[in-house]
Amino acid sequence: MKSLLVLVLVSLSLCDMDLEKYKKIAYQVNKLRTTWKAKEVPTDMEGLLGALKGSPKTLPRKTKFRTNVNDLPESFDLREAYPNCETIKEIRDQSKCGSCWAFSSAEVMSDRLCIHSNQTIQTRVSPLELITCCYDCGFGCQGGWQEMTFYYWMEHGIPSGGLYGDKNSCKPYFLPPCEDHMHNCTDYQDTPPCEDKCQDGYEKTPEEDATFGADGYSVSGEDDIMREIYENGSVTATFEVYDDFADYESGIYQHVTGGMLGLHAIKIIGWGVENDVKYWLVANSWGDKWGEKGYFRVLKGKDECGIEDDAPTGMPLIQGKFLE
C-alpha cells in the first residue's frame, strides 16, 4: 500500500519539466484576463503536494451551527477578527517535504488554541511531531491525512514547534525556509526519525509541553465552511493542484488549463468578494514570498478544485475544559 501511495504522490520536478510549457500556460491565463494573474517562472512542485485521500478513519460531520448563513458578513478575515492571535497571521514554509497535511492541521490547532483562550495562548503546535511520530497519519514527507492529525491531537497531544531555528519551542521544524520554490531551496527530504524529547535547551518534555484536542470533526460545502470559520476559527481543506496553479501570482484562482499534479492541504481563514467574484482566503505553507505574501484566493461557491468537499478541523482542550 505504501509503495502505491508513494507512486500516486510523486510530482514532477520542474527540473524535468518543459519550462516553455509553463510560459505558454502563463500566456494563456493572462490573455484570457480571468480572475487571476500568472507568472512565467513557475513554482517547483517537487515535494510540495502531500495530501492523501482515503483516510483510515473519517471524522464525524458537523451539521449544526449557531449562526444563520444569511446573517454572515459578505467578507470575513480571521486576522482582523482576532488581531492578537499571532499564528493566524503567520505563514510557515514546509520546504521540500510533502508535509502540507501536517502544516495545515498544526496551523489550525494553533489558531484555535488562541481564539478559544480569548487570544491569550500563542502556542505554535508542532508539524514536526505529526510528520515524525504520528504513524497513523501517513508517511511523513511522502504525504498524510489531515483527519488523522486531529485524532492524534485528541489521543496523544502535540508539543509546541515553531519555525526552523526557533529556540522557544519543543520541536521546531527541521528544514530551513526556501528563498523561493524555484531557486535556493534544499533538495527533497526524507522523513526524520521520531524523537521522544524536546530540542536541547528546552526545559520541558514533549508530554509536559503538549496541548490536546477536545474534539475532531469536519464540515462540507460553502455555507457550513463559512459558519464554522465564523464561529470557531480556521479549517483545513484539500485542494487539487493543476499545472496552471504552478504559475499563480495573484488574484482569485480558478483552474484554466493543464493536467492535475496532485493534492495539497491548506488552511482557510476567511472569504470575500472582489468585482462580484466570491473567493476563499487561503493561507499556504510555501513561505511569504509565494503568491500574495504567502496567501492565495480561490473561487468560492463552485467547489473549485474540490476545496469545499471536506474541511477537517477540531476544538482545543483548554485548562481541562471541553469547549462547545
Write out the DSSP string of 20-46. HHHHHHHHHHHHHT-SEEE-SS----T
Residue 4 has pLDDT above 60, yes or no: no
The model's pTM: 0.92
C-alpha cell at 39: 507568472
Distance CA(237)–CA(219), nearest Å, equals 10
CATH number at residue 52: 3.90.70.10
Q: Average of pLDDT values for 198-214?
A: 96
pLDDT score for 9: 41
DSSP label at residue 212: E
Which residue among the candidates 85, 100, 114, 198 is catalytic per the annotation?
100
Q: Could you read off the pLDDT of 97-151 as tens digits, one per residue?
A: 999 999 999 999 999 999 999 999 999 999 999 999 999 999 999 999 999 999 9
What is the structure's pLDDT at 44? 87
Write out the DSSP string of 94-128: --SSS-HHHHHHHHHHHHHHHHTTTT-----B-HH
Q: Is 100 a catalytic residue?
A: yes
Interatomic CA distance for residues 210 and 153, integer angstroms: 9
pLDDT of residue 323: 45
Domain that holds residue 199: 2-322
Pairing assessment for the beta strands 295-299 and 248-253 based on DSSP bridges: parallel
Q: Determine whether 194 is an active site residue.
A: no
In terms of pLDDT, which residue wins out, 224 or 182? Answer: 224
* Per-residue pLDDT at 41: 87
pLDDT at 51 over 50: yes
Q: What confidence category does residue 181 fall into, taking pLDDT thresholds of 50, 70 and 90?
A: low
Residue 187 vs residue 84, higher pLDDT: 84
Sign of torsion over alpha carbons 310, 99, 94, 9: negative
Please write the tens of the pLDDT for every residue from 280-320: 999 999 999 999 999 999 999 999 999 999 999 999 998 65
pLDDT of residue 18: 79
**Sequence-ordered strand ranges (E) for 64-211:** 76-77
Highest mean pLDDT out of 13-27, 39-53, 178-192, 250-264: 250-264
State the pLDDT confidence band at 10, using cuts at 50, 70 and 90. very low
C-alpha 10/C-alpha 240 separation (Å) is 14
β-bridge partners, 312: 218
State the pLDDT confidence band at 19, using cuts at 50, 70 and 90: confident
pLDDT score of 315: 97
Amino acid in position 251 = G
Angle at 52 between CA 77 and CA 272, to 5 degrees: 15
Count of alpha carbons within 13 angstroms of residue 35, beta-carbon side: 17
Determine the average pLDDT of the residues in 92-98. 93
| Mean pLDDT over each residue of the chain, to the nearest integer | 91
Number of domains in the chain: 1
Residue 5 has pLDDT above 70, yes or no: no
Q: What pLDDT, on the 0 to 100 scale, is given for residue 17?
A: 57
Contact criterion met (CB below 8 Å) for 86 and 122:
yes
- pLDDT higher than 90, residue 73: yes
pLDDT over threshold 60, residue 194 = yes
